[in-house]
Every structure is written in C-alpha cells, then in structure tokens.
Structure 1
C-alpha cells in the first residue's frame, strides 16, 4: 500500500476556504449548520467557490477544472464542512457525477456536462433509490426503452435530495430484463426540465424540504447522455459509490456539535469524565481523517476503493452519532432547538446510517475485502 499523503497537503487551499467562509459569515450571508452538505443550499455560495476554482478541482483544465488531486480536494471539503457552509447546490455533481463522467462518459457528454458542474451551473440530484426497494439498489424497476436518437425513461425514484432545485438528474435504469438483477442496468444523465418529469416534496421531521419523490413518464434522453456502456451500470455505480461513501461528509456532518463540545470542555476544566470523552472523540476523528486521506490517495491512483470507502462510511456514521450523544450527556441541550447545531444534528442523525447504504450493506462489502500484502 502506498504511504499516506502528507498531513499538511492543501494548506494554501485551507486558508482560501477559511477566508471565504469567514467573509460570508461576517456579512451575515449564512449561518453555520450541521449536515450542511445535504441541508444547506445556496447556489450563489457555490458559484463563489467555482469562481475561486474550488469546485471540480480534480477535473482536467480543458473541462473547467483545476487538475488538482483528490487529496487537495479533501482539504477543501474538510474546511467547508467544518465551517458548516451552504454547499448542497454543487456537492453531488462535484463529488460523484463529474468523476463518473470523467471515467466512463463519452467525449460529447464530458464536454457538455463537466464545464457546467465546474461553473456551478449544473445542479444534480441522484435517481437511485426506489419505493419498496429499501437498500437494495439492484432492485431497480425504472426502465429505459431504446427509441430513435435515444431512450425513453419511465419509473419512480424516492428520497431524491434537492430534485426540486436540480437542473439534472443522474438516473440508474433497467435497459434489459435478465435472470440476475445486477445485470441490464444503465446510467443516464437526464434534464429535470424535460417533459414527463414531476417531483413531489417529502418534508422531514423539522418540516424542511430537501427530499422528494420523482416520477418519469416516458422522458426522452438523448443517446449521448448514457454514462459508459449500456448494461454495465451496476459495475459503474459500485465504483461511483467510492466517491459518495469515502468523503469527509461521512465524518464531519456533526462537526458544529463537536465544536460546541470542545468549547464547553474548555469552560469545565475540572470535569475529568467530559475531557476523557472528548479525548476519545478527537482521537477517533484523527483516525477517520487519515482514512479519508487514504481513500483520496487511492482515487488519485485511479483505483475504486469500494471496501475502504464502505469501512469509512460505517465508522464515520457511528462517530457522528456519538458526537451528538456526547453533547446530549453534558446537559446543555435539555430543549434542543431545530435552529441550533445540536437540534439540527439530532434531527439528521437517523439518516446518517441510511443514506449512501445501510450498515448491513457496508459490512457485507467490508467482509469481501481482499487481504493485501
């Protein structure tokens, strides 16, 4: 295994992100919040990042990217999450759709979509989960039928974050019926403004609207909007999940809560139990950040670290929940407000272990990991 990247990688990038987020906070343009990569949407903030070259960092310059490494991108995403910044508008497109198109998309698809992601003009939602399928991603019933010049997509997706704001959708659809459900799947890029697309909001427990149901009724998708090879979608989507599961958002969604816990511990210096608990959490965070760097390093090497990303997500989800529980134990949050860091994280925490794959799915992937010399 290659050595981990240096711990100080991206110091200049971290400084740029801290300057940008501090200026936006000082101007009252956003309030830091937990789970910001899913729940805090501000297209203007994403465009400001794009103007500073902080989106699509790993994409080639010919497509509007910066040609930087995934390790350098990790430095930026860590700082954005630490600041609780409103990054949901660009997160999915930048994180996984762009890299998937870079690896498998046609030259025409790359030229059409990647510069728009880099400029924060294309806002993506994920059309993966379906009703009655649970965590079984291969149980896709949405179909794609070939027609002249492209495909007609019909089906029903659920828990689709920000579909009501998205310009484009990534859609996993069935293009062939086979005995093995993992076969005959294909990935598409679909216009959310196309005829036949409809969305229905699913408010969460706090009344916020970021989840949606999405229905497709014979939506036409041009032939060049296929990602990769027709029928090879399962192998490609498993690879793509390395980008989704292996990032800092699986560790730092509840970082604002951890910051409150640190501040409280600084005031309660004689509370040995609290300081011991905080020390344990900080040690776990250091290990998880190291795992994030290792996943980023493998992506830079052109690999698809499926098992490593699954392990990171499993351990990171447990850590995020434990951070929330630790602050609860301090007695600071008898009546949590949905507007506070603790209340936001508490409301989001049931989803930590579900989105991107339930624990059972992740453990099955880890169990199949080959032993490396």
Structure 2
C-alpha cells in the first residue's frame, strides 16, 4: 500500500538559535587552520585535536544521557552544531561516525558494560569508530556478508574481510556486520553486529590509495581475531535490522547536502556582483535546492527526536542530496571557467580539486543509489 513520505515543517527552538552563535564563535578561532583542501574534504577531514576541542564544548554526544557524559540536549540542537561545522568545512572525521551512529547504536542496544566503557570515550573525543559493511565480491549487496564469527570459549573468533571502510587505519573500533549463522544464501537471516578493537591481534589494514594519492578508504582483513563475550552488540541474528535502522542516522543529516557547500560558498563569493543573469539564476537555484533539502533533513531530525525510525524518508534525503552535491563541481566550473581546473584560481582551485576528487564517492556513502532507491520503492509499496 502506498505510504506517503513525511516531511513536517520544523522550527528550530530558541536554544538552537542561541547555540548557533556559540558554534560560530568557536569556529572563528579555528578556521584559519582549515586550508582549502581540508575544507573540501568536509567530514572526511581528520583532526583529533579539533575533535577533542569540540568535545570540550560539550558538542559530541549532545543528545545522549548525562549519566554517560552526554549533553541530554535535543536532536535539533545537535543539528545546528553539525550544520555549522559542515558549512565551515571543519575536519570532524575523528568523531563523526561515533557521534552520528555508533554511539546511538551502543546506547540503544549495548549492554550496560558497553555503554559505561565506550560512551564516555566517545564524548571526550578519544574514540574514533569506523563501520564495517561492504565486502570484496559483494558489491553493494550487504546481505551477501561472508565475514563470520563463531563461538570461541566465552567469546568469539572472527574471520573475513571488509572493504571501502572509511578511516579504518585511524580508528580505534569498528562496528562490523558479520554472519553468525548460515551462509550468504540465507540473506538477512543469521547476521549480527560486533565491536572490533582495531589494534587487536589478527586485524590487518591495507590503505586504498586513490588517484590523488590520498587514502581515506581501507581494506580490513580479520585472521582469527579473538573477541570477548562483550563484542556482540544487540541480539545475535538481528544484525540486519540493527544495521538498517542505524543507517537512518547516516542518510538523513546535513552531510547529505552540505559536503560540497564550502565550494559553493566560495564560488558565490568569487562571482562579480554584476554577473550575468544566468549566473545569478544558477546560484539562486542552488540556494533554493539547499533550502528544500535542509527543511527535509531538519524534519527527519525532529522525527528522530521523537524516537521514530524514518528509514524511507532518510533515503529520500540521501538520494536528493547526492544529486545536488555531485552537481556542485560542475556548477562551479560552468560559472568560473577552466581556470578552476588549471589551478590558476589559487585557493579556490585547491578547494575545487578537493571536492572534485570526492565527487564520485558521494553516491556510495550510506548505500549506493540503487540500494537507496530500492528502500524508497519499498516505502511507497512498489516492491
């Protein structure tokens, strides 16, 4: 049956508006350290010192219970902080995944021991997490997981491989989707999630270098990795439902349409105020699209604040946001010409090159476009 998408208008509370001024004041002391290349990397930028400074402001784990060190604030307050960080091109990668999805997963499904041990680490900016989903030969089919855990004494033994894992080489922990029973033919049945210390014996990390010489992605191999009894998170065999619910946090945030914002802002600033009407119209169209995407994303933040699980709505934001982000470098080149690519535009060329390098990956993060469109189709009752 057809189920319409819900994007209810949401007004940010007064506390969120006051918080925005605080975040901007904080960032004013850091922006001089964000060179054009770092700003172009957006949330892929990695700086533990910056993350610890953000933590000292109380801006990691903002919505989490105070008993674990969290701020017990609203999801909309957190949204303001994220929005300002992304707009500034701040290097939030050292705490990004833990704050966005790993921490909420642990709080929702973890044992008391897992919460007491890991959540304070995240809140202090001391724990970096990565997510182990994709595998070699499996493409975007997460249900084809072969990485496996088997009981080993009181704990588990882990074997297998994960690939395209962002910042695995810099992370302290991975939350991995693994098979605890059955085989790939069983699809979603028999999948579980485990917390893997990245320095555990048997964990081998190979950085995947891209054409620009950077290595954000990694291949991770597990060779008889011994995990304790507290490695399992949630319920054994329920990993598929847990992982897909977790992705609602990943697919709906402002990172789905603001990753390339520093470039758009710089291009707008570089245009002559008396530019052609066509150029002004192009910038106006981009601003209008951001406004719509932002309202959709804020609406989902409100749904999350109410404890809802907006998987379908998050998929819509992710798909629409990807299309917008991937168009930004093309818009920049159309407005400012070939000088961007040749490097003659100075810092703007460096920023453009950084965003252009990541442009193809925007459609991979949080699930390929085909996977996301499938989720949308199910939400509409079409499959």
How has the CA–CA distance of structure 1 residues 284 and 2 changed in structure 2, closer, same or farther, with 3 Å as cutoff? closer
Distance of 2:138 and 2:279 partners within structure 1: 42
Distance of 1:327 and 1:347 partners within structure 2: 14
How has the CA–CA distance of structure 1 residues 29 and 257 changed in structure 2, closer, same or farther, with 3 Å as cutoff? closer
Distance of 2:289 and 2:100 partners within structure 1: 24
**Structure 1 residue 233: deviation in Å?**
0.2
Q: Find the residue that maps to 2:30 and give its secondary structure.
A: helix
Q: Find the residue that maps to 2:220 and give its secondary structure.
A: strand
Equivalent residue for 1:309?
A: 314
Q: Deviations over 1:235-273 (max 9, x none)?
A: 0101000011111111111011110222134x2424100
Contact 2:341–2:353, Cα closer than 8 Å, also in 1: no
Equivalent residue for 2:3?
A: none
Distance of 2:7 and 2:366 partners within structure 1: 27
Contact 2:7–2:300, Cα closer than 8 Å, also in 1: no
170, 176, 200: which one aligns with 1:171: 176
Distance of 2:34 and 2:372 partners within structure 1: 37
Matches within 5 A, 1:31-46: 33-38=39-44, 40-46=45-51
2:313 equivalent to 1:333 = no
Matches within 5 A, 1:1-373: 3-7=8-12, 10-26=16-32, 28=33, 33-38=39-44, 40-177=45-182, 179-265=185-271, 267-330=272-335, 331=337, 332-336=339-343, 340-370=350-380
Alpha carbon RMSD of aligned pairs, Å?
1.7
Distance of 1:62 and 1:35 partners within structure 2: 34
Q: Deviations over 1:149-177 (max 9, x none)?
A: 21111111111111111111111110000
**Structure 1 residue 232: deviation in Å?**
0.3
Distance of 2:204 and 2:351 partners within structure 1: 33
Contact 1:5–1:71, Cα closer than 8 Å, also in 2: no
Distance of 2:141 and 2:207 partners within structure 1: 23
Distance of 2:13 and 2:114 partners within structure 1: 35
Distance of 1:48 and 1:152 partners within structure 2: 37
**Structure 1 residue 3: deviation in Å?**
4.5
Distance of 1:25 and 1:260 partners within structure 2: 14
Structure 1: which 5+ runs fail to align? none
**Structure 1 residue 75: deviation in Å?**
0.6
Contact 2:103–2:119, Cα closer than 8 Å, also in 1: yes
Contact 1:30–1:86, Cα closer than 8 Å, also in 2: no
Distance of 1:205 and 1:118 partners within structure 2: 35
How has the CA–CA distance of structure 1 residues 289 and 2 changed in structure 2, closer, same or farther, with 3 Å as cutoff? closer
Q: Deviations over 1:28-69 (max 9, x none)?
A: 46655123211x110000000001101111111111110111
Contact 2:40–2:262, Cα closer than 8 Å, also in 1: yes
How has the CA–CA distance of structure 1 residues 8 and 342 changed in structure 2, closer, same or farther, with 3 Å as cutoff? farther
**Structure 1 residue 5: deviation in Å?**
2.6
Equivalent residue pairs, number: 368
Contact 1:261–1:278, Cα closer than 8 Å, also in 2: no
Distance of 2:41 and 2:376 partners within structure 1: 25
Moved over 2 A (4+): 1-5, 28-32, 336-339
Higher helix share: 2
Contact 2:148–2:158, Cα closer than 8 Å, also in 1: yes
**Structure 1 residue 225: deviation in Å?**
2.2
Question: Which gives a bigger RCO, structure 1 or 2 (Cα 8 Å, sep 6+)?
Answer: 2
**Structure 1 residue 322: deviation in Å?**
1.6
Between 1:2-11 and 1:127-136, the stretch displaced more is 2-11
